[in-house]
Chains A and B, each alone.
Chain A
Amino acid sequence: MSQKGFFEGRKGEMVLCNAWSRLRRFCQVKQVKKLSTSLVVVLVVASCQGSQDPKNREKATLGVSKSFLSIPAFVAKSTGYFSREGIDLTVKECSSGKTATDALFRGEADISTVADMPVVLESFKRKDFCIFGTFCRSYRMVKLIARKDSGIRTGADLKGKKVGVNFGTSSHFFLGAFLMHHMLSVSDIKMVNMRTVDMPVALRNNQVDAISVWQPYDKKALRLLGDNAVEFPAGEIYCTTFNLVTTKSFAKEHPEVLGKFLRAINNAVTFIQKNREISQDITAKTFKLDIDSVRAAWDDFVFGLSLDQALLVSWEEIARWSIQNNFVPKRKIPNYLNYICLGPLEAVKPESISIIH
């Protein structure tokens, strides 16, 4: 794969990033911030485009959940890292990781981004997919927000209250974990199944006393409730991971695409770490949010490629929870080693793999 272009290889990229950092510091005036962000993106894209031999280029479609957990994928796309790696990537934006995975199984996407919960649920149904990387994790992705006027001040106050929850998702799993952490069980509350997007309004309208909601809808709920809102610290009850999933057949037939894809994501992660504000600007534009909202949520996420042993344990916990709550028809926990594809990440960043093998 040819590496010709204005910025040669990773070193050139680093130089560019440093230059942008200096430029960003210089451009503290608001009026020029937009311009500087656009300029940086344009320069990165320019440095990436046209640098690949067209003969070696790969085509792929990414089904991506429009969630902050997918920020590395959006940044990689905006900065042209996919193109640079030789992938002409089509991004298919989806409302959640589950819909993105559905698109994958329907053959509308080659790769999708997905959280733990859909992986576990799908693992009870099929065996033809695999996870080839985790690129984001957050202990603050899912939160519990309650109304003060419902008398909720502590977690224990949830007893007997109506809690809005999206069944079968991380919202649901987090609520169970949260309740257990506060010495409650699901039977101590009344769960109201609803779509995540509807949760803030339902909470404001007093249809529920609390909601287990993921970002960015938590901000909306907090805004709607104003002083009446209570946000419970998530602590380290549940770590949401956002993973890259593909079909086993695609992984077998196109291991090089997955390798290139992971390299682009890895570059994007490096870019995000070195260009925090520019990455925030890209995110704000992508999600059509004001920059302050993005900045407020930014530190809730940790970006980085990995495949951890904890991932397996975590999935097994979710699977166990799903069996206990009868969300799945089977009673046997799948062997999640069979849903892991180590090869691509081993080729790109082997030191980030801690799965015992």
Chain B
Amino acid sequence: MSSTVETSSTTDGAATSRPVRGAGGTESRPRRGAGTTGKDLLHALPWIGPALILIFGVVLYPAVVMFYNSTRHISLSGLDQGSVGLDNYVAVFSFPYFWPILGRTVVWVVAVVALTVLISLGLAQLLDKAFPGRQLVRLAVIIPWAASVVMTTLVVYYGLEPYFGIINTFLVDLGLVSTPEGYGWTKHADTAFAWSIVVAVFVSLPFTTYTILAGLQTIPAEGLEAAKMDGAGPARTYFGIVLPQLRGALSVAILINIINVFNSLPILKTMTGSIPGYDADTVMTLIFKYIQNQHRIDVASALSVVAFLIVLVIVAVYVRAVKPMKEV
């Protein structure tokens, strides 16, 4: 591809930026294996240029800035005071709470994604079946997807408040909690973290369920009928025929969920943000503590680079496993 750019970029100037073709437009027709020329790239630029500017300017360039800042010493007021090599990374890794936080991040991602996928498999199975009112249920399932995650988390946070929280009151009324004061769910790091997992699962269910639902609809009916003829029970049909064919949908759902949950800030920030210490933090909330509470943008950048690399690894797995480029 790149070699063809060199050979003909000089033959045609930028003057023909607007692609004007012969009547048939034949030479611009996508043909697999057909040679392309630099002229074609010039013609393409007015169409894809703005997108490239936005992607390079606001996604890739900030990544470069972040990498650069992670090797600088930046004062609390934001002044760049020169290179410090890898000192910021040393600061990140030698922070006594770093490894527990990394471990908690793994727990956070694995617990949320596993619970989400398991519940979604059941939900999708139900929503794929016919029953009166199914459309209404499907619409209800969308709500947490569209609603702001911050707002959904806030209502749970309020519900767990001692004395007046409505979820707490409900637990007291059920007899699960003995005093109206409640346990102080949001005052302890471990319970606040556990409830954050509940909220994260709740807001991840719609996307996951709909992805699995889309997968279920691609399964041909013949296999299911054949299984029925052969006398296979529902469980055997599900694990033997349905689940294997959901592989594609599941890999999309799992990988996108891993990225989303790893990147998630609002739930933990709202639920555990007011708890002192670092006992409910993940990598992402720690980054924002470095930025906002300690104003250490340099250390935050170093930790962001670590997080960025983790995300890139997940993206690489996604591209390999899902092969989204196959169709283009």
Q: Do A and B come from one complex?
A: no
B: residues with CB less than 8 A from A are none
A: residues with CB less than 8 A from B are none
